Every structure is written in structure tokens, then in C-alpha cells.
Amino acid sequence: MDNGKPIRESRDIDVPVVARHFYHHVGWAQLMDAELADMAPVGVVGQITPWNFPLLMIAWKVAPALAMGNTVILKPASYTRLTALAFAEIVRDVGLPPGVVNVVTGSSRIGQAMVTHPGIDKIAFTGSTEVGRWIREAAAGSGKRLSLELGGKSPFIVFEDADLDSAIEGIVDAIWFNQGEVCCAGSRLLVQESIADRFLDRLRARMEKLRVGDALDKGVDIGAIVSPGQKETIQRYIDIGVAEGATLWQPSCPLPENGYFLRPTLLTNVEPASTVAQDEIFGPVLVSMTFRDPAEAVALANNTRFGLAASVWSENINLALHVAKQIKAGTLWINCTNRFDGNSGFGGYRESGYGREGGYEGLFEYVQPAWQVHKPKASRKKAEPSSNGAEPPATAANGNGAAGWPPIDRTPKMYIGGKQVRPDQGYVRPVLGPNGANGAEAPLVGQVAEGNRKDIRNAVEAAHKAAGWADRTAHNRAQVIYYIAENLAARADEFARRIVQMTGCPIEDARAEVEAAVSRLFSYGAWADKFEGRVHETDFDGLVLATHEPVGVVGIACPDEMPLLGFISLVAPAIAVGNTVVAVPPSRTRSAPPICTRCSTPLTCPAA
């Protein structure tokens, strides 16, 4: 009644999956003390749900939040407030303590107030990419946890050896389920050239049998669009597709005289870069393209800024798995589509958001390490300059280091692309130690290159070129990390002296930091080939393989506390699982203003 979806879908899909989610997470509530012993609830969770699945999205968010011991403030979409208020009646009737679940209805201003409220510890949002982008910006720096499930433009790939009849029914479920108002709708049909004409003919014949009409009619396949504004948006995209050269086809099914109804739509001869192939339409519109071989299928599937879901159809399971692994999407279905279960995590990346809902993976969106609940402030005692055990720091501007080291001219450089490179702007920053005894001037420890935007750009390009690091075996990545650990251990005294010179801590603390960094490297090397996925059993006929994938290029800003251990603790786990890294050392390490390498004067020199 809220959003126009057919009652058959609500009865046979939405409500059973809602019940499944609550039952599944009740089990995790029972097991939390044993299986998540070192975790604690996040606290107060603000949840913003969309209008396309008004009850199912409530279950996806509320069930794990309550199971992990959080309290909830729920803001439903403006179009579907009645469903949320009906759910609130159930909450009241079952005797949940007052204040555990709170439902606040209103316009987008309510959602904005939730995102910016200092008393909310986490925001869970499902909706458009544009709003998700704003939420991320608004919450930046607030310490709020975020999980965002945003838009999609999911590929539906059909190979020539697929069961075509099953694939036809699959595409009907993928794009015309819920009027196509589904974030993971299979809205991009990719068909192998050898079967494209035959497949599309069968698809058109099947579309002729789809019924559009009153959502309360159990025989209706496609109900009403949620609002006149959404209907106008969908029609505008159809017109744009035709204007850009696509061929429009719609069945001859009658439409009700009253209401916001659209016929299921097929656009063929679509270019990969066209608007309808790139933008999320969020309606019953399917765009079709062809491919020649698996490599082209993968390229077309990944030619999108989204990454929510994909569906691969082939009777050759080896081919299906090979292709599925290469598609950049959070959920991959093989010979099925739109299968959801409480024991199966769901979510995407790129502009489809981040975080997971459902399954074991989704629990971690609503817990935090127990030690973070009362996080102690890191501190380090500083020793007297005469008793810290470090070698006297160098005083020459060439950064030769401690006394006794070889007199090598160490030109300050950065490490980019596997080699040392000079900074683009030609500036270096002197690194100073702590103040000396009796107020003496801080000694010069060394010099580091002063980077700029071009240096970051070069580093990001180098990190993308090194993407093959993820394709190496986990055993090989572990070997490399072990080798780094061994080299750090061999130079432990050198690194300990440097830490003392920069921070003024006792030499014992510096040695302990180096030892902890070495141990942590060995630990992350050990985890490289043991950080495995999981196999989930679901209530539908199939298994879910939840596998880990590297994020890609990770930007890391290192903390001020413990300069070596902080760096290792952030960089090592990222590279252990196949990511590449652009790291920026601590910015608050004691330093003087940057100087020009050409004239040794501050940034205001004419050479700048």
C-alpha cells in the first residue's frame, strides 16, 4: 500500500525474508558472548531506510543492531512512513523496553539532523549515491561509524552455453521485480553475440506475457511506480536512450487508466558509454549490449562507477566462477539473481557504498572492539636528554644521521613506484628532535622531502600500476612481509636511535616499539594466507561463498603516537591482503618550516 509493489511479491518474498532476518540474528544475540567475546555494542544507531523495500530494509538494519545490543533511531522514507509505524506497533506489542527502538518520521531534514547529531554513534543508510555522498562528507571527522548501501547498475551476463529458458526467467526477476525499483536490479543485459538475436526474441515473447496493474491483484507482475516524479524520471531516461541511438521495444500489455504505471521496457543497440548504460534509472527499463568473449564480458561489466551486484549465467561452472571473480561487485549470483538471506552478507563498493548487511559479516557494522568503549589516551614518557641512551644527533643540514654513520650525502627523497624520487616542488622539511637541556635549541635529526599534489598523483598512479600485487598468491605476499620484518629486526638499533632522536623517549621504549613492529609484521605475514572467507548455508537451494577481496589503492595517514609501530600497524595489514598503499607519515612530528633545496631558504624564497 505504501509503494505500489505487487502483493504477491510482498507476501511471498518480503515478509518471509524479514522473518528470516530476525530469526537469524536472534541466534547471534545468543552467541555474541562466546563468538564475539572481545566486542561491544556501538551505542546509538541512526538508521535511514528507503521506500523501495520499506519493511525488508527495516529488518536488515534493526535486527543486527538489536542483536548486538544497540539502541536504534529509525527514520523511514517519506513515501513509506506507514510501514515503519506499523512495525513500531509490533515493537510495542512484543514488550521491547522503551527507547530501544524509536521511529521518527519526517522529511529529509530529519535525516540531516540525525547525521549531524553528536549523540548518534553510527549511521546506517540505504538510498541514492548522491545522498550517501553528502552523509559521508557531513559525518567526516565526527567519529561516527558509517555503512552505506547505495545505487547500482548491475550486469546480467548470459553466455552461449547458458540454459536460456532459465536465464529469461532470471532477467524477468532481475529487472522487473518490484517495478525495477531495486538497487541491485540487473538493468544491464550482456548477451554473447552468437545467441543475442535468439535470446532477445525469446525475451520479447516473455515480456508480452507480463501483467501490469493493481498491486493488490495476485496475478499482477508489475505494480505502480512509487510517485509521479519517479515515473517522469524513468520516462525521461527512456527518451534520452532513444535520442542517443537505442532501439525501444515495449510489450502491448494494457495499462490501468489511473495510477503511475509504465510498461516493461527493453532498449537494444545501446552503447556502453551512453547515459542509460551508465546511470541508475531505478525503474522497469532494461538496456542490452553484446559481447564476443569472456574478457569483453568482464570489461563491459566493470565499465561502471557502481559495484553492487552482478549475475552470471553459464552451464560451465569453471567459466562462471572465473568470470565472477573478475567482476567488481559486492554480490555475485551464478545462475540465479536477487537471492537474499539473513545468513548472506550484502553490500557493494565504488559508488555503491561500503559495509555489509546480513550474515556474519554484517554483525561487525554494529559492534566495536571492547577496548574502544573506554579508549585510553596514548602517552609516552620523555626522558632527560642526557639519559635517553641515543647517539648524539647530527647537526649538519645534509641529514647524515647519528655520529659514527658513514658520511653519505642523503638527498631527501620520497619512495614512489619502487624507487626513491625527489619531491616535485624541490622543498625539504627539517625534522627536529625535542628541546635540549636547559632550553637549548632543538637539534636537527634529519630532513624529509616536502610533497605536493603532484607527488600524491604520482604515488596513486604507481599504486594502480602495482595492482598485480593482489594477484600474487597469499603465500608470496607473506614471504615479502616476512622479509621486511627480518630486515627491520636486523636494523633494530638504528631505528630505535631514530625514534629516540625524534621523540625524546627512553631508549628502552624505543627498542620495545621496534620489537613490537617486527612482531606485528610477522603476525600480518602469518595472516596473509589465513584470512579466509566463509561458506554460508541459506534457506534457499544453494550456498553462499563469502570471499575477501582487496579494496584497491588505500590512502593511509599515520598517527603521531609511536611513529614506527603506527605506520606498520596500518600499512602491513593492507598489503597482506593484496592492497596497494599511499602512506603519509605523521604530520605533527616536530619540524621546522620547509626550505628550498636550491637556496636553503624558507618557502618564501624567490625560487619558489
Report residue 433 as a C-alpha cell. Answer: 628532535
Report residue 436 as a C-alpha cell. Answer: 635540549
* Dihedral, 83, 87, 92, 97 alpha carbons, nearest 10: -130
Q: Residue 553 in contact with residue 464, Cβ under 8 Å?
A: yes
Contacts of 382 (CB under 8 A, 6+ apart): 434, 503, 504, 505
Q: Which of 149, 351, 357, 365 is catalytic?
A: 149
Spatial distance between the Cα atoms of 176 and 186, rounded to a whole number of angstroms: 9
Spatial distance between the Cα atoms of 409 and 396, rounded to a whole number of angstroms: 11
What's the burial of 262, exposed, middle or buried (CB within 10 Å: 0-12/13-18/19+)? buried
Q: Which of 9, 181, 183, 357 is catalytic?
A: 183
DSSP string, 157-212: EE-TTS-HHHHHHHHHHHHSGGGG--TT---EEEEEGGGHHHHHHHHHHHHTT--B
**C-alpha separations of 220 from 214, 226, 259 in Å:** 7, 16, 14
Q: Which helix (H) or strand (E) holds 76?
A: none
Q: Cα–Cα–Cα angle for 460, 464, 469, nearest 5°?
A: 125
Verify whether residue 149 is a known catalytic residue: yes
Spatial distance between the Cα atoms of 139 and 357, rounded to a whole number of angstroms: 20
Q: Residue 231 in contact with residue 260, Cβ under 8 Å?
A: yes
Q: Residue 477 in contact with residue 485, Cβ under 8 Å?
A: no
Q: Residue 120 in contact with residue 301, Cβ under 8 Å?
A: no
Task: Give the position of cell 527518451.
Answer: 239
Q: Residue 250 in contact with residue 204, Cβ under 8 Å?
A: no
Q: Classify strands 145-149 and 353-354 as parallel, antiparallel or unpaired.
A: antiparallel
φ, ψ (nearest 5 deg) of residue 203: -65, -45
Verify whether residue 532 is a known catalytic residue: no
Active site residues: 149, 183
